[in-house]
Amino acid sequence: MNQKRNGFTLVELLVVMVILGLLAALVVPRYVAKEKKGRHQTARIQIELLGQALDQFRLDTGRYPTTAEGLNALVVNPGIPGWDGPYLKKGVPLDPWGRPYIYQCPGSHGDYDLYSYGADGAPGGEGENKDITSWE
């Protein structure tokens, strides 16, 4: 009765699959929550960095870019005397959801408004859909 055993039994494979399923059930929700929080933090940091570039633009030119000039004025001189850019090293970033940041000057909440509508791309929202703004 010297029998060679090749491979795994069905029970062994099922046990391994159940263990992997339990691990996935514990890890995946935490990862997804961290990723969503990370996108909001990234948007806040990018808005802060864009705000610093806008402030440097204002120091050099005496004003912020108009809404029509937009954030692109931080990278390419729109013909403004005193412009000493580019003020961003890599161009104007998109928000973490792949959409352009919204810039208005003059703003409703200050000299300028700079914001992203969050994951849903619509005004307002809660959680991951909450707007990320320069004035909060």
Q: Which of 33, 40, 37 is nearest to 117 (CA)?
A: 40
Exposure string of 36-64, with b = 16+ CB inside 10 Å and e = fewer, is: eeebbeebeebbeebeebbeebeeebeeb
Q: Are 116 and 47 in contact (CB under 8 A)?
A: yes
- pTM higher than the cut 0.85: no
- φ, ψ at 94 (rounded to 5°): -85, 160
- The predicted-structure confidence for 8-30, as pLDDT tens digits, reads as follows 788 888 898 989 888 888 887 77
Instruction: Report which residue type is found at 124.
Output: G
Where do we find the tokens 């003059």?
106
User: What CATH code would you report for 12-133?
Assistant: 3.30.700.10
Domain boundaries, the chain: 12-133
Q: Are 97 and 125 in contact (CB under 8 A)?
A: no
Q: What is the 3-state secondary structure (H, E, C) of the chain?
A: CCCCCCCCCHHHHHHHHHHHHHHHHHHHHHHHHHHHHHHHHHHHHHHHHHHHHHHHHHHHHCCCCCCCCCHHHHCCCCCCCCCCCCCCCCCCCECCCCCECEEECCCCCCCCEEEECCCCCCCCCCHHHCCEECCC
Low-confidence ranges of the chain (pLDDT < 50): none
In this prediction, residue 37 carries a pLDDT of 75
